[in-house]
Amino acid sequence: MDSPEVTVKTTAAAGSTVQSSNSPPVQESPFSNFLRNLSPIEPVKAQHVSQGFLGLNSPPLAFTSPRINALREASSLKRPRYHLFPSADVSANDDGCKKFTDCTGELGKSDSLLDGRLVADTQKDSDLKKFVQVQPDISLGRVGEYLADRTEVDCANYTTYEVNPDLEQSVDLLQSSVSSITYLKGSISKSNNNNEMKIKVNAHLTLSGKAEEQLQGESTDEQDCGALPPDECNTESNFFIDLASKKQECDISAQNEGSVHEGKSACHPQLLPEPFQIAQTYEDSEENAGMIVLHGLVDTTMHDTEANQHQRGFSRRCLQFVEAQPKAIVSSSNSSNQASDVTSLRAPATPAELEGLDSSHVDLNATSSQRQLDNLSQPVTPLFLPRPSGKSPLTISKPPGIGLHLNSIVNALPKGGAATVGIKLASAECGMFENNASVAVSSMISESQSIGHLNLSQPIEHHETPPTERKFNSEHADNFEEFNQPSPKKKRQKSSTIDSDGCKRCNCKKTQCLKLYCDCFAAGIYCADSCTCQGCRNRPEYEDTVLETRQQIESRNPLAFAPKIVQHANDIPVNNGDDGNRSMPSSAKHKRGCNCKKSMCLKKYCECYQANVGCSDGCRCEGCKNSYGRKEDYVRSEEMLGNRACKERSEVMFDNKLELVTSKKDFLHTEFYDPHLTPLTPSLQCSDQGKDAQKSRFLSRRYVPSPDSDPTIRSSYANTLRPQKNSDSNDMLLETSKEIMDVDSYGQGMDYRNEDMMDQLSSRGDALADLCHLTPLPGFPSVAVSSSGSSKATDWKNISGLQLYPRSDSLSSSRSLHWRGSPVTPITQLSGNKNIQEPDSDNRVYDISEDDTPDILREASAPTKSVKVSSPNRKRVSPPQNRMNEIRSSTSGPLKSRKFILRAVSSFPPLTPCIDSKGSTNQNRSDIEENKE
C-alpha cells in the first residue's frame, strides 16, 4: 500500500507536468522498481485483490462480517460502485455539468449547488482549515482542488495545497522506509435541518514517515440551512466523501485535473496519492434517498456495519448490495481511530472548506450558483476528489457504467434536468442492485452506473415524501427523460413506467416482481409504492428473497443485471435520427442487441431505441430504422474505423513515445497501485479510441440527456471532439478522452466527466495517445466481468474497475488502464497489443468494453470484434464467474502477452498517460467551455 501512495504522488506530479523536477526520483524509485520487478499483470492483480476485498490498507475487518453480509456486500458492493459512477460522473464532469446546466437551468443549479454550498460555508472552511493546518499533508487539499475545479478556482491556490513539502518529503521517506505510514482521515459531514447534506470526507493520507502517525480530527458542522440558502435545506442529502483510497486518487486526480482549468498547469500535482472515497448520499427525508459513493478504493477499514446501516437508511428502495458505499460511509462515520472526521459540510461546502483551508483560493463565484442549486438539494458535487497532483482535481469514479441498465438509465437520467446529477445518483441508489460486478463498477458511476432518485430511497419507513421534494424530483426526472428520449415519448414513459420521482414503477402481476420482466427488479431497485404491481416481493421486507432470486438469475446469466448498454469504442457519430438532434449516443450500444421484427427499432419495444442507442452488429433486428443509428450503419462504420484507427494509432505512437516515457512511468505507478481504486480513470486516461473517436460513436451521450434536450452539452462535446479527430495526437487524445469520459460516465454522468477528463487529458493527450498505443490495455475484461454480474463480492472487488468497463468500450488505448484495473483485461490486451495498430484493434477494444461477459470469453479471442457478444443469443452466455475469476487471476496465456507488453512498456508505463491526460485536461476544458459558450 505504501508504494501506491507514493506512486500516486508521483503520478500527480507527472500530471502536472512538473513531474520531472519534483517527483522524479521519488516516483520512480519505489514504484518503478516494484513494477519492473513484477510482471505487469501480477502487480495489478495483487493490488487489485488487496484493494478490492481488503480495502486498501484497511484491515479486513469489514470482510470479517458474516457471510450474509458478504453476500450483500457482493451484490451491494457493486451497487455502491454503481453509485459511485454516477457521482463520479457528476464530479468528473464538472464542466459537462456546467454545460448541461447551461442547457438546463436547473441542472446548472445543481452544479452550482455543490460548488456554491462549498463556498458558502465559510465556517466549514474554517474547520477544514484547522484540519488542514494540523495536517498539511492531508489529501484534503485535493478535495479543495477538486472543489476549486468545480468552482473554477484558481489552480494556484491548489498548488499551495498540493505542493506540500511535507508530502514530498513523505514520499522520500516512503522510499527510504516504507514501513512508516501516516494515515489520516478526514471526514466531513454536514447536516442540514430540513435537508441533510452530509459530506464526509475521509482522507487517508499515508505519509511515509519514520514514525507512524495517525491523526484524527473530527469536526462537525451543522450549520446548514443557516449558512446555506434555505433552498438547500429542502432536501436532505448526505454526502460522504472518503478520501481513503490512495490509489484512486491518482486516477481521480488525473481526472480531476481536467476539471481544473488553466490554473492546473500552474498547480503542481504533488499531492499524495491518497485514495479518495467520496460517497454522496442523498436522502429525501421523504421518499428519495440516493447515495453516491465514489470510492477510489475501498477501505476495508472503513467498512462498518454502521455504514451499511446508514446506507440502508438512505437507500430505502434500493437494494443494498454494494460494499463500497457502506465502506465509505462507515469510514466517514467510524473513522474510529485512524481518521479524523470532520463533519460539517454540505457537499458544496466541503470543497470550499477544503480550499479555504489551504488558501481559500477557491473562487466564490459559485456562491451564486450555489443558491440556485440549493433548491435542488441534490448534491451534484459529491464525487469529486481533490487531486494530489493538484492541478486539477479529480477524477471521478466513473460510472459503472457505462453499461447502464435500461431501467437504470430510465430511472436515472431522464427526468430532471437540473438535478441531473442528483438524479443520477438517486437512480443509482434506487435501484441498483445490479450484478455484483455492475455494482462494483458503477457504476456508473454508474453503472452502471444510475442513481436512485428520491423515490428510490423510499424505505418502508419513509413512504412519506414531502410533496415539494417530490415535485422537485419529478421535475428532474422529466428533464432526464427529455434528454434521453425524444420529447414526444417522454410523456408516455412518465405516465406509464416512470414515476414522478423518475424511478421506475412496474405493473407486474404474476411475477411478484422477482423476474427480469419487472423493470424495477431488473434495475436492481425495490419496487416503490407507486408501483402497481401485485404480490410484489421486490421490497425491502423481502430482501432475502430478492437477493436469492437475483442470485439465481445471475447464476443463469451473470450479466442479467448488468447494464444493457455499453459504450462503444467507435465514435462515429450517428445521426440517423429523424430528428437532427438525436444523434446517437454513438458510443453506446446495447449489449445484447435487440431482436425487433415489427417495430423497426423505432419504438420503445426496441431496447436499443429505448435506451437512445443505435442498433449495432449485435442486433438481430429486421428492417432496422433506429433513429439513433441503424444496425447497417453501425456495421459499416466499424469496418471503416478499424482501418483508420490502426493507422492513426501507429502514427501517434511514434511521435509521442519519447515524451510519454517519463509520464508513463508515473502513470504506471499510479495505475498499478491505483487500478483498483479508480477503474474508471484508466479508461479515461487511456482512451485509445480517442484516436478512433472519429470513427467511434459517442456512446456516452446516450446517457446524457437526449441531444434534443441538451444541445449545449452535445455541442461542446461534439465540437471538441470531432474537429480535432484526425489532426494532432493531442487532439486525438482529447477526443478520446472525451469519449472515454462519456463512456465512463456511465451514461448520464458521462458527459460531465468527459469534459473534465478531457481537460486533464488535453495537456498530455499526446502522451496518452502513445501510451494507449504502446500499452494496449485490454479493454476491460474486468468490466465485463463485473458486469457479468458476478454476484460475489470478491469478484466485484476484483473487478472494481467494472464500472469502468463501459468506458473500455470507447477506448481501445485506454485498455491499458483498464487492464490494470482488471486482470482479465490483459488477455485481451495481449492480443490487442500486438496489433495495436491493427484495424481490428479498435473493434476489439470495442468489444471488450462493450461486452460484459464477452471480454472474459474473448480473453483468448483474437482482436477481432466479437460479434458474438452482441449477438442476441449471448444473453445467457455470460461466462461463469469462476471463470472470470480465473481469468483475472490467471496469468498464463494472457500473462505472456502481458509481460511482453509490459516490458515494452516498462520504459513507459502505461499509466503515465493518465497523468498526461490530466495535464491536458486543462486545455480540453477550455475548449469545452468555449464550445459551451
Minimum gap (Å) between residue 38 Cβ and DNA: 38
241 contacts DNA (rule: CB under 7 A): no
The radius of gyration of the chain from alpha carbons, rounded to an integer in Å, stands at 22
Binding residues among 600-619 for DNA as defined by CB under 7 A: 600, 603-607, 610
The smaller minimum CB distance to DNA, of residues 392 and 449, is found at: 449
519 contacts DNA (rule: CB under 7 A): yes
Q: To 5 degrees, how large is the angle CA 689–CA 693–CA 694?
A: 145
Distances (CA, A) of 669 to 665, 769, 911: 6, 18, 7
The smaller minimum CB distance to DNA, of residues 67 and 598, is found at: 598
Binds DNA by CB under 7 A, chosen from 176, 368, 487, 873? 873
Binds DNA by CB under 7 A, chosen from 134, 516, 635, 904? 516
Binds DNA by CB under 7 A, chosen from 20, 507, 727, 882? 507
Report the C-alpha gap between 378 and 425 in whole angstroms: 9
Binding mask 534-573 for DNA (x = CB under 7 A): -------------------x--xx--x---x---------
What is the number of alpha carbons within 13 Å of residue 693 lying toward its C-beta? Answer: 40
Report the run of H or E that residue 395 belongs to, with start and end. Answer: none
Minimum gap (Å) between residue 845 Cβ and DNA: 24
Q: Within 10 Å of residue 463's Cβ, how many Cβ atoms? A: 12
522 contacts DNA (rule: CB under 7 A): yes
- Buried b / exposed e over 54-75, threshold 16 CB at 10 Å, is bbbbbeebbbebeeebbbbbbb
Distances (CA, A) of 541 to 427, 544, 823: 20, 8, 37
What beta strand segments (E) does 777-885 contain?
Answer: none
The three cell numbers of residue 907 are 520504459
Of 475-483, 516-524, 779-787, 824-832, the window that binds DNA (rule: CB under 7 A) is 516-524
Report the C-alpha gap between 27 and 4 in whole angstroms: 10
Report the C-alpha gap between 781 and 827 in whole angstroms: 8
481 contacts DNA (rule: CB under 7 A): no
Minimum gap (Å) between residue 554 Cβ and DNA: 10
594 contacts DNA (rule: CB under 7 A): yes
366 contacts DNA (rule: CB under 7 A): no
Of 146-154, 578-586, 650-658, 868-876, the window that binds DNA (rule: CB under 7 A) is 868-876
Minimum gap (Å) between residue 82 Cβ and DNA: 18
Report the C-alpha gap between 912 and 661 in whole angstroms: 8
Q: Which residue has the cell 476549486?
A: 148
Return all residues near 79 (Cβ < 8 A) that are at least 6 apart.
Answer: 318, 319, 320, 321, 322, 324, 325, 428, 432, 433, 434, 439, 524
Binding residues among 684-743 for DNA as defined by CB under 7 A: none
Binds DNA by CB under 7 A, chosen from 497, 712, 782, 923? 497
Binds DNA by CB under 7 A, chosen from 167, 421, 440, 508? 508
596 contacts DNA (rule: CB under 7 A): yes
174 contacts DNA (rule: CB under 7 A): no
794: nearest Cα among 880, 852, 878, 881:
881
| Number of residues counted as binding DNA (CB under 7 A) | 41
849: nearest Cα among 766, 930, 785:
785
Minimum gap (Å) between residue 194 Cβ and DNA: 33
Return all residues near 357 (Cβ < 8 A) that are at least 6 apart.
Answer: 125, 128, 129, 130, 131, 132, 133, 140, 141, 144, 161
578 contacts DNA (rule: CB under 7 A): no
491 contacts DNA (rule: CB under 7 A): no
Minimum gap (Å) between residue 154 Cβ and DNA: 46
Binds DNA by CB under 7 A, chosen from 81, 99, 589, 592? 592
The smaller minimum CB distance to DNA, of residues 605 and 900, is found at: 605
Amino acid at residue number 266: A
User: What region, left, alpha or beta, does residue 893 occupy, with left being phi > 0 and alpha being psi -120 to 50 degrees?
Assistant: alpha
Binds DNA by CB under 7 A, chosen from 493, 798, 812, 922? 493
Minimum gap (Å) between residue 508 Cβ and DNA: 3
The smaller minimum CB distance to DNA, of residues 176 and 532, is found at: 532
447 contacts DNA (rule: CB under 7 A): no
Binds DNA by CB under 7 A, chosen from 487, 496, 727, 892? 496
Minimum gap (Å) between residue 890 Cβ and DNA: 23
Binds DNA by CB under 7 A, chosen from 36, 130, 644, 875? 875
Binds DNA by CB under 7 A, chosen from 368, 517, 544, 892? 517
The smaller minimum CB distance to DNA, of residues 875 and 896, is found at: 875
The three cell numbers of residue 528 are 416503490
509 contacts DNA (rule: CB under 7 A): yes
324 contacts DNA (rule: CB under 7 A): no
Output the DSSP codes for 268-327. Answer: --------BEEEEEEE-SSS-EEEEEEESS--TTT--HHHHHHHHHH-SSB--B-SHHHH
Report the C-alpha gap between 114 and 111 in whole angstroms: 6
Binding-site ranges for DNA (CB under 7 A)? 489, 492-493, 496-497, 506-511, 515-519, 522, 533, 553, 556-557, 560, 564, 592, 594-600, 603-607, 610, 872-873, 875, 877
